[in-house]
Structure 1
Amino acid sequence: STGYLYTLSTDGDLICWDTRQQGKRVWGLNLYETYRVPQRPKVGRRRLRDYGYTTAPLLHGETVIVEVGDDEGNLMAFSKKTGRRRWVSESKDPAGHTGGLAPMVVEGLPCLAVLTIRNLLVARLDQGHEGETVAEFPWATDFANNVATPTVSKNSIVISSEYNQYSTARIDITRSGAKQIWKQPYASGVCPPVIHKGHVYWCWRGLYCLDFQTGKPIWRGGVFGDTASCIVTSDDRIIVWGRRGDLVLAETAVRSPKKYTELARRKDIMKNDAWPHIVLSRGRLFCRDRDGNMKCFVLSR
């Protein structure tokens, strides 16, 4: 382990930091300046919206992969130690606004899924074929707002967005391409879907539960606003972070198969919108608002 930490700012600064040397900068580059990345093109009839870079870097082997969205490639991989570029993707799509890249395996091939500005893209990661396109599925959202990160379960991907799409879909991937299994008229604005024991969950204004196999709605409930995210715990419960710092504990369909059941709620923990997604690690729950204020809660057994 190198102890290196990789960050990508909205302004395009990709930087490697040495956490063992008090955050000393190891290497860095600005994606906008290095690759002359243009402003994202207009999508649909709505005016252009561009939030800068939003996707977190992904470590794979000896490389760090980011969605650049340049005419040289949507995805680019750089050496973890030096920052030297190693490969670019076959796809040249502009970058989307999702929070992360989703690793997956397609018929034995290590791959990576990402929502670009126009498509669900699945690209190869195996040696000698890095960046080659396995499948694309058209998915363009007005305002260039493909925001919710794709969620992977084996060879299936669940994607969702609002505006003109206003739907959630399950797409299955093979080496032959992409196939839509189901599509339902329920949307997630920013919350990535969570797949757990045969169900799909997400939170956008309310908490949704769908059947993973069929897409059939199971239940919906609660009030959370647009700025929500959720995670599932090991004891089959859901923690939701939304509105201006509402922290909610609810049952999954494993424990409550017929209706939404809310167990507890703490309101207005923050003073601003809870856009950043909630994180649970080693019994600690990290909650942050749009201004960068953060609180940590210890979860007792």
Structure 2
Amino acid sequence: MSRLFPALSLRWVLLAIVVVLVGCSHHTDHTYQGYVEGEFVYLGSSQSGTLVQLSVARGQAVIAAAPMFSLESVDETAALQQAQQQLVAARAQLADLQTGKRLPEIKVTQAQLAQAIANAHKAALQLARDEVQFRVGGIAKAQLDDSRASADSTAAQVRELINQVDVARLPGRPQQLSAQAAQVDAAQATVAQAQWKLDQKRVHAPAAGLVYDTLYRVGEWVQAGNPVVQMLPPQNVKVRFFVPETAVGGIVLGRDVTLHCDGCAADIPATITYVSSQAEYTPPVIYSNENRAKLVFLIEAHPSAADAIKLHPGQPVSVSML
């Protein structure tokens, strides 16, 4: 964004000034000129929306997980509620398949079975009487056949209803249960996705730090990925300085240095965290063949988080080797 260009220009100006000072001084006391730089964290959302709440202001110190800003989330809230209801329905259907028919439905089938048993018993008694009558010539063969068919039919109905009672107690087939379980898993994934999108509309501080700038105002439309808040955690504050090639050989990672700045109550300890492996020439604005030929190396040092809050990006400092 256009608001960042001045900061970048300032950085290059400071770099040029520091390198000039390095080329012009002899560092007889192993003290070098440097400047403070901040590695800013730009907080934005993966979703687009209207900025409805900005919870911080420039210069405010915040703690980790503090709310920073919120975007309009009506659509995401509705999508989450819909996904949650679909999950409830999928779980209920799975539970229904796992338990078989309801008890009142089973009792209806059991009552039909009791009636069929009574009919079968009655038909069996009638068949027994007709067989006796047929042997003595009391009835015709057709009547005996009717009685035998009735007894067989009622007995078959009893067997059918017994099986229906057993089937009513069974859960759904394994394939049905597996398919419905997959539907539940899919509904859970949809809920998680909807919850994630809703959470993206409310952004919190990833760490404690200082709010360096706010880039939008409430009511403005924020495109997905655009930063809304620029913050600087104290662990992202570092000091950059340059040393001549004659001194870089004795500088190693982890070496302690001391930072001195105008207005600081006391010197600030720091630790070297980076030594450039590539040399740089001093700028040609130094009108000296001797200075132009000198090589310098970039060094970075980090103060502790407690001391970093005393420093400000762009602030010039003196770095003394211990």
> Which has more helix, going by share of residues?
2
- What interval of TM-score do these two structures reach, taking the shorter chain for normalisation? under 0.3
Q: TM-score by structure 1 length?
A: 0.18
Greater strand fraction, Structure 1 or Structure 2: 1
Q: TM-score, normalised by structure 2?
A: 0.18
The structure with more radius of gyration: 2
